[in-house]
Amino acid sequence: MKKIEINILLFVLIEAFFLLYGIHTNLINILIGTILGLILTLVFSKLKKYTIMKYFLLIITIILLFSVTIKISLFITHNLLKNYSVFLVIISLLIINFFLIKNNYHGFIKSVELIFYFFILIKIISLVLVIPNINLEYFNINLLEELNPNTNIIFIALIILYLHQSIYYLCDYILDKKIYIISIINPIIMKLLAITIIGRTLFNLYKYPYVNILKSIKYLNFFERMEGILSFEYLFSFITLLAFLLLIIKSIIKKTVNYL
Amino acid sequence: MKKLFLLIFILFITGCMNYTELNDLAIIKSIGIEYNHDYFIYAEIMEDIDKDNIPKTKVIKASGKNMDELFNNIKLLVNKEIYLDHIDLLILDENLNKENFDEIIIYFLNYQELRNDFYTIIGNNIENILNNAKYDEIEKMIINNNLKIIKISFEEIISKYLDHKIFNLSKIIYNDGIQFDGNYQYRNNKLERINHEKN
């Protein structure tokens, strides 16, 4: 596998985890958590050859799969398919992802790379349309509260460790520090941008503040009500994460069965 | 076989479960909320277009002990699904107190389909204002820079109210026509008139 493909996958997965679990966490938690995650990754990289790590990974992946599937379905029914059955969304998501990972992981990672360029285009369009709504008044209010660390640091570090261990399990991979730093800076910039648009209080109140920011796009009575299309960037990262989790489970079970 | 299964699956799961006919929707254009021992709401609902291509609206009045009951009562009165995604204007009564504000804000924040980017003003005798205003007359007054009406959206009001409980907004009255009655500041849980220079 090419280095760029794996690093794109890592970037998308970190964004997906952040959007699902880390939206309301403080900026200092993200910074310290990711540094700690990097240290843990370097330490644990020597342990991948032990079988117990494989089963530990399987258990965590199954737990994450349940949680991620439900969270993604709730995101879709809350923002895109309103008043729709969550159960049907879960089934549709799982079936689509089973087909995505049907073959080996090479095809999946290549697809992620191709869609990523479209994803970047949508991200740039969203940024361009959203930046004029920045209100610098909000930049000063309660920003010091972002510097209060708490136990989320450990959660973030463990997620980073889990991602790296899973990718190491799939294929040989060398950590690219530049991409790693960009994938950490991305959530920090997103959060700062969101706070300067809607304020910290509203940001903490909304369940999906990044979609609420997209609702603020309104120009010339034409560029408005675009949050459905522009939230595709989030949907793409979520589906990639779900497919990745299924892929890890499939790989572990397949290798265990072959071994037996 | 797998492709056939996938094709059938895609055809039948196309998201039509929550489809509602346009005729079954009560599209609300403006809302006015008052409180006098109970909540009163005046909702300007879009009807159809007349011969001169000007949209016709009608104003419905409902009351309730809380916001949920209020909107449920409107739904029962018009016998349609309430559609709040196209609200352009919210008129709040000048006599609303802190508890009323809190309840209105909580309701509008939790309402999934609402955008909160509509203009907000205060007024008294809201029923007269909405019954006698022409289509888009109040919105055009707000956009008119000569009148120095404060253009503030409900989302900005929520943000300022939650941060430091102070925000400015304008007042309109009905006196042989819709008139602008000055700018006010909500501070210390009450409205105080402010001068134009302090906007």
Convert the pLDDT of each residue in A133-179 to its tens digit: 888 877 765 667 777 788 888 888 888 888 888 888 777 777 777 77
Average pLDDT over residues B20-37: 89
pLDDT at A104 over 80: no
Query: CA A146 to CA A130: how far, in whole Å?
Result: 22
pLDDT at A226 over 70: yes
Relative to beta strand B81-83, strand B25-35 is parallel
What is residue A1's predicted lDDT score, i.e. its pLDDT?
A: 64
CB contact under 8 A, A198 and B18: no
- Sequence spans of domains, chain B: 25-198
Average pLDDT over residues A197-207: 85
What is residue B198's predicted lDDT score, i.e. its pLDDT?
A: 42
Query: CA A118 to CA A59: how far, in whole Å?
Result: 33
Residue A176 DSSP SS3: coil
CA dihedral A187, A67, A57, A9 (to 10 degrees): -40
Quick check: A108 and A100 in contact, CB under 8 A?
yes
Q: Name the closest residue on chain A to residue B5, using Cα atoms.
A: A95
Residue among A136, A216, A221 with most chain B CBs within 10 A, to mutate = A216
φ, ψ for residue B160, nearest 5 deg:
-70, -35
Task: Count Cα neighbours of B34 within 13 Å in the Cβ-side half-sphere.
Answer: 17
Query: CA A109 to CA A240: how far, in whole Å?
Result: 9
pLDDT at A64 over 60: yes
Kindly report the average pLDDT of chain B as a whole number: 84
CB contact under 8 A, B112 and A202: no
Query: CA A246 to CA A62: how far, in whole Å?
Result: 8
Distance from CA of A134 to the nearest CA of B (A): 12
Of all residues in chain A, what percent carry a pLDDT higher than 70?
Answer: 94
CB contact under 8 A, B155 and A202: yes
What is residue B16's predicted lDDT score, i.e. its pLDDT?
A: 65
Looking at the partner chain, which of B2, B112, B163 has a beta carbon nearest the beta carbon of A199? B163
Q: A80-89, A107-116, B82-91: which has the minimum mean pLDDT?
A: A80-89
pLDDT, tens digit, for every residue of B85-137? 889 899 999 888 888 888 999 898 888 778 888 899 999 888 888 888 887 88
Write down the ipTM of this complex.
Answer: 0.76
Looking at the partner chain, which of A82, A84, A202 has a beta carbon nearest the beta carbon of B162? A202
Average pLDDT over residues A53-73: 89
What is residue B91's predicted lDDT score, i.e. its pLDDT?
A: 93
Q: Render the burial of A2-23: b for 16+ CB within 10 Å, e for the rest.
A: eeebbbbbbbbbbbbbbbbbbb
pLDDT, tens digit, for every residue of A22-62? 878 888 888 888 888 888 888 877 765 666 777 888 899 99
Average pLDDT over residues A108-125: 88
Which residue type does B55 have? P
Query: CA A20 to CA A27: how far, in whole Å?
Result: 16
Q: Which of A31, A194, A249, A4 is nearest to A114 (CA)?
A: A4
Query: CA B2 to CA A99: how far, in whole Å?
Result: 9
CB contact under 8 A, B15 and A83: no
pLDDT at A67 over 90: yes
CA dihedral A21, A26, A32, A34 (to 10 degrees): 30
Query: CA A156 to CA A34: how far, in whole Å?
Result: 7
Q: Name the closest residue on chain B to residue A83, using Cα atoms.
A: B18
A and B: number of Cβ contacts within 8 A: 44
Distance from CA of A206 to the nearest CA of B (A): 8
Interface list for chain A against chain B, based on CB atoms closer than 8 Å: 78, 81-85, 88, 92, 95, 99, 138, 141-142, 198-202, 205-206, 215-216, 218
Q: How far is CA A37 from the centre of its chain?
A: 16
Looking at the partner chain, which of A88, A205, A215 has a beta carbon nearest the beta carbon of B13? A88
Query: CA B44 to CA B46: how far, in whole Å?
Result: 7
Quick check: B58 and B45 in contact, CB under 8 A?
yes
Distance from CA of B152 to the nearest CA of A (A): 13
Of all residues in chain B, what percent carry a pLDDT higher than 70?
Answer: 93
Average pLDDT over residues A198-219: 85
Average pLDDT over residues B76-82: 90
In terms of pLDDT, which residue wins out, A55 or A237?
Answer: A237
Kindly report the average pLDDT of chain A as a whole number: 84
A135: alpha, beta or left, given left = phi > 0 and alpha = psi -120 to 50?
Answer: beta
- What residues of chain B lie within 8 A of the CB of A141, using their CB? 163
CB contact under 8 A, A84 and B109: no
Q: What is the pTM assigned to this prediction?
A: 0.84
* Residues whose CB falls within 8 Å of the CB of residue A204, separated by 6 or more in sequence, listed in order: A24
The pLDDT confidence band at residue A196, using thresholds 50, 70 and 90, is confident
Average pLDDT over residues B172-190: 85
Q: Which of A224, A229, A237, A187 is nearest to A209 (CA)?
A: A187
- What residues of chain A lie within 8 A of the CB of B159, using their CB? 138, 198-199, 201-202
